[in-house]
Amino acid sequence: MRSRRRLLFAFLALWLAVPQPPLHPLAAAATVSADRFQSAIDAARAASAQVVNARGGPPGLGVAVLVDGRIVWAEGFGFADLEQRLPVWPSTKMRIGSVSKAITSAALGLLYEQGKLDLDAPVQKYVPAFPQKQYPITTRQVAGHLAGIRHYEGHVEAEVYNTRHYKTVLEALSIFQDDPLLFKPGEQFHYSSHGWSLLSAVVEGASGLDYLGYMQEKVFDPLGMRGTVADVNDRIILNRSHFYVREKDGPWQNAPYVDNSYKWAAGGLLSTPEDLVRFGWAIINGQLLRPETVRLFTTSLRTSDGKETGYGLGWALARDDQGRRWIGHGGSSVGGASRLMIFPDERVAVAIIINAEDMPDNVQFVQGIASGFMPKR
């Protein structure tokens, strides 16, 4: 009898230690907020619920807002699993797509600061196996989408919907490494996810560690990004969302099987909105990189004719409709989309992630949320 009681008490203790799902399926529990932001939170919550409830809205949405180093609001809306009616939590992991590039840029910055990475050396210094091209290309050019490496043009079905597992980042380079450059490096801005796959190999060559191991040790662990991992299909990943697609105005369907091992650095990570804003704060607050490194990486590059590209080294650069400067990135992948916006002068960061391929006007949506947490102009 005593042993049964002990087992019962042990079970109850374990059950109580596991976070229980919220009572309402459309809004998972938010973080404790500061009173002065309550009206902004109320407005952002209503706007987020409206997005999910709208016709054609994403099945699930996660949002987080950080102000001056503190996450003042994080909440989930809709469902992480439509079949099981499991709600989105702030801890739900979704595919962040190309926001992975901004996170990978931190690795480049760390190696640059340590003198292990020359941004203007040919990439073959760090990846000798990468074939020589008709022109030399550098890490700076690749990171700024100026190197002339192709994107998915003409290969969408085979590459975006890739089902092959690549054991190493070097093996994944075989997808594009034998293709010629599209133009002389520097002449044009041409967005390329494959270029960032090459940069994961640069990280490995410069650091002596495998890409995912380096990111875990040097970026994720130091910043407490416990919700950020590679989207490895055969691994059990706590709180990973299901992913959804649809055709035009049709019903949501399970996303097709894809293997993102060919593009960890370019778009293969899972994360949470809370982790993304923590990362954003670490960047602007000097927690990870020196201020001069951040300025270097978040300053627009120029084409060879002097035109600004609006893109640094892994960072999109723009201003909102009030003229406030922001840095960040957007991402879209099979069954996932995201947006990270950081307003350095206002010390505000906002991130959203959805478990569907696209959310129209997500830039305006994130800007609208952010504006509620900043002083009015």
Tokens standing for residue 258: 């894809």
Give the per-residue SS3 of 92-130: CEEECCCHHHHHHHHHHHHHHHCCCCCCCCEHHHCCCCC
**CA separation, residue 161 to residues 55, 141, 334 (Å):** 26, 27, 7
Nearest to 204 by CA among 182, 157, 172, 250: 172
b/e 24-42 (16+ beta carbons within 10 angstroms → b): eebbbbbeebeeebeebbe
Beta strands in the chain (DSSP E): 60-67, 70-81, 86-87, 94-95, 229-230, 244-245, 253-254, 269-271, 316-319, 325-333, 336-343, 348-354
Residues contacting residue 92 through CB under 8 Å, at least 6 positions apart? 28, 60, 62, 76, 80, 239, 240, 241, 272
Task: Give the SS3 label for residue 350.
Answer: strand
Taken as a whole, the chain contains a residue count of 377
* 70-81, strands of its sheet edge to edge: 86-87, 70-81, 60-67, 348-354, 336-343, 325-333, 316-319
Question: Dihedral of the CA atoms 174, 180, 186, 189 (nearest 10)?
Answer: -70
Q: Letter for the amino acid at 206?
A: A
* Cα–Cα distance measured from residue 123 to residue 116, given in angstroms and rounded to the nearest whole number: 13
303 contacts 186 by C-beta, under 8 angstroms: yes
The residues assigned a catalytic role are 98
* Cα–Cα distance measured from residue 199 to residue 126, given in angstroms and rounded to the nearest whole number: 9
